[in-house]
Amino acid sequence: MPPLTKLILSLGSNTGQKENMENAESLLRALFKQIRFSDSKWTEPVGIESDLFLNKIAVVYTAHGLQQICKALRNIERKCGRSRSLHKSNVVPMDIDVLQFGDAKMHAEDWERGYIRELIQQMEEPEETIA
Protein backbone atom coordinates (compact mmCIF):
# COMPACT_ATOMS: atom_id res chain seq x y z
CA MET A 1 0.00 0.00 0.00
CA PRO A 2 1.47 3.39 -0.96
CA PRO A 3 2.18 5.88 1.83
CA LEU A 4 -0.63 8.24 2.73
CA THR A 5 -0.25 12.01 2.52
CA LYS A 6 -2.17 14.49 4.66
CA LEU A 7 -4.44 16.72 2.58
CA ILE A 8 -6.21 19.82 3.95
CA LEU A 9 -8.86 21.47 1.79
CA SER A 10 -10.81 24.69 2.19
CA LEU A 11 -14.31 24.88 0.74
CA GLY A 12 -16.27 28.07 0.18
CA SER A 13 -19.49 29.15 -1.51
CA ASN A 14 -21.27 32.50 -1.83
CA THR A 15 -24.41 31.40 -3.71
CA GLY A 16 -26.77 28.57 -2.88
CA GLN A 17 -24.31 28.09 -0.06
CA LYS A 18 -25.88 25.26 1.96
CA GLU A 19 -26.95 23.24 -1.07
CA ASN A 20 -23.59 23.65 -2.81
CA MET A 21 -21.68 22.77 0.37
CA GLU A 22 -23.76 19.60 0.83
CA ASN A 23 -23.22 18.66 -2.82
CA ALA A 24 -19.46 19.22 -2.59
CA GLU A 25 -19.26 17.21 0.64
CA SER A 26 -21.10 14.32 -0.98
CA LEU A 27 -18.80 14.36 -4.02
CA LEU A 28 -15.70 14.56 -1.82
CA ARG A 29 -16.94 11.65 0.32
CA ALA A 30 -17.29 9.58 -2.87
CA LEU A 31 -13.68 10.42 -3.76
CA PHE A 32 -12.16 10.12 -0.27
CA LYS A 33 -13.92 7.56 1.94
CA GLN A 34 -12.22 8.68 5.19
CA ILE A 35 -12.56 12.47 4.72
CA ARG A 36 -13.52 14.54 7.77
CA PHE A 37 -15.20 17.96 7.68
CA SER A 38 -15.18 20.87 10.11
CA ASP A 39 -18.27 22.76 11.13
CA SER A 40 -19.47 25.42 8.68
CA LYS A 41 -18.66 29.09 9.23
CA TRP A 42 -20.27 32.13 7.60
CA THR A 43 -17.82 34.90 6.67
CA GLU A 44 -17.76 38.24 4.93
CA PRO A 45 -16.21 38.12 1.45
CA VAL A 46 -12.51 39.01 1.19
CA GLY A 47 -11.42 41.16 -1.73
CA ILE A 48 -14.73 41.02 -3.63
CA GLU A 49 -18.26 42.35 -3.27
CA SER A 50 -20.66 39.45 -2.85
CA ASP A 51 -23.03 37.65 -0.54
CA LEU A 52 -21.65 35.96 2.57
CA PHE A 53 -19.47 32.90 2.12
CA LEU A 54 -20.14 29.58 3.80
CA ASN A 55 -16.79 27.94 4.58
CA LYS A 56 -15.58 24.57 5.75
CA ILE A 57 -12.30 22.67 6.11
CA ALA A 58 -11.77 19.05 5.13
CA VAL A 59 -8.92 16.73 6.14
CA VAL A 60 -8.04 13.35 4.67
CA TYR A 61 -5.02 11.10 4.27
CA THR A 62 -4.66 10.01 0.65
CA ALA A 63 -2.49 7.97 -1.69
CA HIS A 64 -3.53 10.15 -4.65
CA GLY A 65 -1.02 12.56 -6.19
CA LEU A 66 -1.50 16.33 -6.06
CA GLN A 67 -2.12 16.72 -9.81
CA GLN A 68 -4.80 14.02 -9.74
CA ILE A 69 -6.42 15.62 -6.68
CA CYS A 70 -6.48 19.11 -8.24
CA LYS A 71 -8.11 17.75 -11.39
CA ALA A 72 -10.79 16.00 -9.30
CA LEU A 73 -11.40 19.16 -7.25
CA ARG A 74 -11.92 21.28 -10.39
CA ASN A 75 -14.43 18.67 -11.58
CA ILE A 76 -16.32 18.88 -8.28
CA GLU A 77 -16.37 22.70 -8.51
CA ARG A 78 -17.88 22.44 -12.00
CA LYS A 79 -20.48 19.91 -10.81
CA CYS A 80 -21.48 22.47 -8.16
CA GLY A 81 -22.02 25.08 -10.88
CA ARG A 82 -18.71 26.95 -10.99
CA SER A 83 -17.85 28.60 -14.29
CA ARG A 84 -15.47 31.30 -15.47
CA SER A 85 -18.32 33.66 -16.38
CA LEU A 86 -19.87 33.37 -12.91
CA HIS A 87 -16.46 33.77 -11.25
CA LYS A 88 -15.91 37.02 -13.18
CA SER A 89 -19.19 38.25 -11.66
CA ASN A 90 -18.00 37.33 -8.13
CA VAL A 91 -20.49 34.44 -7.99
CA VAL A 92 -18.77 31.40 -6.49
CA PRO A 93 -21.01 28.31 -6.26
CA MET A 94 -18.01 26.33 -4.96
CA ASP A 95 -14.32 27.02 -4.48
CA ILE A 96 -12.10 24.21 -3.22
CA ASP A 97 -8.46 24.99 -2.49
CA VAL A 98 -5.66 22.69 -1.38
CA LEU A 99 -4.27 24.34 1.76
CA GLN A 100 -1.79 21.60 2.56
CA PHE A 101 -0.44 18.51 0.82
CA GLY A 102 1.99 16.59 2.99
CA ASP A 103 4.43 19.15 4.42
CA ALA A 104 3.74 21.71 1.67
CA LYS A 105 1.43 24.57 2.63
CA MET A 106 -0.27 26.45 -0.20
CA HIS A 107 -2.32 29.69 -0.30
CA ALA A 108 -0.23 31.40 2.39
CA GLU A 109 -2.69 34.32 2.63
CA ASP A 110 -5.52 31.93 3.53
CA TRP A 111 -3.57 30.57 6.50
CA GLU A 112 -3.60 34.11 7.95
CA ARG A 113 -7.41 34.30 7.94
CA GLY A 114 -8.96 33.85 11.36
CA TYR A 115 -11.73 31.54 10.22
CA ILE A 116 -9.24 29.23 8.46
CA ARG A 117 -7.10 28.98 11.60
CA GLU A 118 -10.21 28.39 13.72
CA LEU A 119 -11.59 25.63 11.48
CA ILE A 120 -8.20 23.92 11.10
CA GLN A 121 -7.71 23.97 14.87
CA GLN A 122 -11.12 22.33 15.21
CA MET A 123 -9.92 19.52 12.91
CA GLU A 124 -6.63 18.84 14.69
CA GLU A 125 -6.50 15.38 16.17
CA PRO A 126 -6.04 15.40 19.94
CA GLU A 127 -2.63 14.33 21.12
CA GLU A 128 -2.61 10.88 22.63
CA THR A 129 -1.35 10.84 26.19
CA ILE A 130 0.40 7.96 27.87
CA ALA A 131 -1.17 7.19 31.24
Q: What is the CATH number of the domain that holds 30?
A: 3.30.70.560
Q: Decide if pLDDT at 117 tops 50.
A: yes
Tally of domains within the chain: 1
Cβ(59)–Cβ(36) below 8 Å: yes
Most confident of 83-92, 102-111, 121-130: 102-111
Provide the whole-model pTM.
0.90
Domain range for residue 103? 5-122
Q: How far apart (Å, rounded) are the C-alpha atoms in residues 84 and 88?
A: 6
36 lies in some domain: yes
**Residue 74: inside a domain, yes or no?**
yes
Q: Is residue 128 part of a domain?
A: no
